[in-house]
A and B are shown apart, each in its own frame.
Chain A
Amino acid sequence: MAEHEKIEYQDLKAGQEFPSAAFQVDTATVADYLKAVEEDNVIYRNTGLVPPMALAALALKALINTISMPPGTIHVSQEFEFIAAVNTRDTLTSQAKVSRVQERGKLHLMTVDISVVNQEQKPVLAGKTSFVLPVQ
Chain B
Amino acid sequence: MSTSVELKEGASLPTIKKNIVQDNIDRYAKASGDFNPIHIDADYARKTPLGGTVAHGMLILAYSSQMMTNAFGHDWLSGGRLNVRFRAPARPGDVITISGTVRRIEKAEGYQMIDCDVLCSNQNDEPVITGDARVKVGDNENRG
Contact = CB atoms under 8 A, between A and B. Distances in A.
B30 A52 contact: no
Interface in A65-104: 65, 71-72, 74-87
A7 interface: no
Given A36-B24, A64-B34, A53 B58 contact: yes
Contacts of A85: 74, 77-78, 142-144
A49 interface: yes
B52 interface: no
Nearest to A30: B31
A77 B18 CA distance: 21
A54 interface: yes
Contacts of B61: 53, 78
Nearest to A73: B36
A13 interface: no
Contact of B79 (A29, A51, A82): A82
B48 A41 contact: no
Contacts of B142: 83-85
Interface in B94-132: none
Question: On chain A, which size bracket covers the interface?
Answer: 35 or more
Nearest to A54: B31
Tell me the dominant secondary structure on chain A's binding face.
mixed
A106 interface: no
A60 B34 contact: yes
A58 interface: yes
A77 B87 CA distance: 9
A61 B83 CA distance: 19
Contacts of B8: none
30 contacts: A29-B31, A32-B27, A33-B28, A35-B27, A36-B27, A36-B31, A36-B32, A41-B70, A43-B77, A48-B144, A49-B144, A51-B77, A52-B77, A54-B31, A54-B62, A56-B58, A61-B34, A71-B38, A72-B48, A72-B49, A75-B57, A76-B85, A82-B76, A82-B77, A83-B78, A83-B142, A84-B78, A85-B143, A86-B144, A87-B144
Interface of A: 29, 32-33, 35-39, 41, 43, 48-49, 51-54, 56-58, 60-61, 64-65, 71-72, 74-87
